[in-house]
Amino acid sequence: MASYPMMQPQIIVLKEGTDTSQGKGQLLSNINACLAIVDTVRTTLGPRGMDKLIVDAQGKVTISNDGATIMKLLEIVQPAAKTLVDIARAQDAEVGDGTTSVVLLAGEMLKEIKGYIEEGVNPQVVIKGFRKANQLAVNYIKELAVSVDVKDEVAFRELLTKCAGTAMNSKLIYSQKDFFTKMVVDAVLHLDQDDLNKRMIGIKKVPGGAMQDSLYVEGVAFKKTFSYAGFEQQPKRFTNPKIICLNVELELKAERDNAEVRVEKVHEYQAIVDAEWTIIFQKLEAIVNSGAKVVLSKLPIGDLATQYFADRDIFCAGRVTAEDMDRVILAVGGTVQSTCSDIVPEKHLGTCEEFEEKQIGGERYNMFYGCPKAKTCTLILRGGAEQFIAEVERSLHDAIMIVRRTIKNRQVVAGGGAIEMALSRYLREYARTIEGKQQLIVAAYAKALEVIPRQLCDNAGLDATEVLTKLRQRHTQGQNPWYGVDVNDTSGVADMYEKYVWEPALVKTNALSSATEAATVVLSVDETVRNPQSQQAQGGPAMPRGAAARGMRARGRGMRR
């Protein structure tokens, strides 16, 4: 009589309703999800890239070709594909540009290695090869990077202008590149060169007019706040005024709202009213006695206070936003006062060379010029549509970040896919010197780098195969590593360094490192576990299973009966 092995009982350790996926199928599924995301942003790369029009759940329309913005608005729910969103945001926060490139590189690395995963290569072997290739690539970029001599101010400014222009090549404002590059370089060089705090550059948007109507203001500018009666009588220009910043509400109702008072006789009520008037007049007199000519407050300044200040040739603005107030404080000096008593002008008041209220388009703006305490500036952007101005703001943000990074690191490489082709050639040569599976992995990494010049060709309508063949030939035979894709040249190939298509080396090193890490994270995941709570959070109620589901159906039938 044959004996059969006893069947092991099935042990369930996860909560009912939990969904699990694992193995090679799960790994390939994650790779396919990442490739689908990459295909969405692929066409936005380069000077001839297309824009995406994204409509969110509230109906808000965004038109952009900025990789980080698109990835953020896509609302990706696939867990592994969210890694690409993270690296795009990190690239945008750390460097400011190259957000589309980092997503493309990560996706192409996964695409090149997908075949090896299907054939059974262990993901850990791939991860080891990727990290080695990334280390070699970053070190080679540092060898190729051209250092900048800061002593020659004219040459250094020209370098910053070229880097800012390269960042704008793929943006909507490309037609006005010279105008905006000068604005961006002026703004960054105006900052304190020790910290280059980007928060000291304010960007304001005024619909209407042309792009050339945009203004660069060496100081603080913010939109005229809500004003009460009497505002028209206030002076609109001062020279060397004293400025006081408050967090005090200068309205009659303020005292009444903060207390509960019970009265029995008419004269008692009149005493309360008189006390309210006395309190607010004491506040106003204290402000006037401080010598301040410009009064700013985060809280409302009522019609009584507005008229009071107008009679004494004092300008006031209430409901100033916290962001604008902080920039004013940093620029003109002084401190925000939460009370009107014990104001010491030398400590609590700031000053500037000139204050002016100016009409810009359909809005009026308060301008503070010649701020002594901190170097700050404001960019006032004009344009025909709000979506267009928003895209101009994103483009200038990228350019500002690029100029800041160039000043800090002072090493540049050629763009247009030149550095990627040089790295690809270098890694192919290195792969021939090693044996085993690592040779295939490093070669796949090298081939993945060619996605940047290939996509530049595709987006510009060039023959990618022909251009890449020319680039491989130039990089293999010659000593010049700066040949890349020139979308304006009939041959499609040019020395991008001589064409002044320059990028900070940090953009490339950070993009390669982030893309490699994202690819290794996706490859290291072989199982996804979804519990019912996470399913409810991501997409509504989780469908019950087993006995619980049968019980619900039975109760439903009972209710119908």
How far apart, in whole angstroms, are the C-alpha atoms of residue 386 and residue 205?
8
Half-sphere exposure of 82 (CA within 13 A, CB side): 5
Q: Which amino acid is at 8?
A: Q
For residues 536 and 553, give the distance between their C-alpha atoms in angstroms, rounded to a whole number: 20
Contacts of 107 (CB under 8 A, 6+ apart): 34, 35, 37, 38, 84, 451
Read off the DSSP letter of residue 542.
P
Q: What is the dihedral of CA 330, 333, 337, 340, to 10 degrees?
A: -150
Q: What is the distance between the alpha carbons of residues 159 and 151, in angstroms, rounded to a whole number?
A: 13
105: CB partners within 8 A, 6+ apart: 448, 449, 451, 452, 511, 512, 515
CA distance linking residue 43 with residue 104, whole number of Å? 10
Identify the active-site residue in 44, 83, 99, 225.
99
Report which DSSP code applies to 301: B
DSSP-derived secondary structure letter, 78: -
3-state secondary structure at position 560: helix
**Residue 99: active-site member:** yes
Report the DSSP pairing between strands 336-337 and 242-246. Answer: parallel
Q: Are the CB atoms for 134 and 512 separated by under 8 Å?
A: yes
CA 320 to centroid of chain Cα atoms: 25
Maximum pairwise Cα distance, the chain: 114
Q: Catalytic: which of 66, 92, 97, 495?
A: 66
Cα(473)–Cα(515) distance, integer angstroms: 27
Q: Which helix (H) or strand (E) holds 245?
A: strand 242-246
Report the SS3 class of residue 223. Answer: strand
Q: Rounded to 5 degrees, what angle do the CA atoms 49, 51, 52 make?
A: 135
Cα–Cα dist 381/261, whole Å? 51
Does the active-site annotation cover 100? yes
Dihedral angle computed from the Cα positions of residues 40, 43, 46 and 49, in that order, rounded to the nearest 10 degrees: -120
- Tell me which of 398, 406, 509, 520 is the catalytic residue: 398
Among candidate residues 62, 83, 100, 351, the one labeled active-site is 100
> Is 149 noted as a catalytic residue in this protein?
no
Cα angle 154, 409, 134 (rounded to 5 degrees) comes to 135
Tokens linked to 497: 């360094």
Tell me which residues are annotated as active site: 66, 99-100, 398
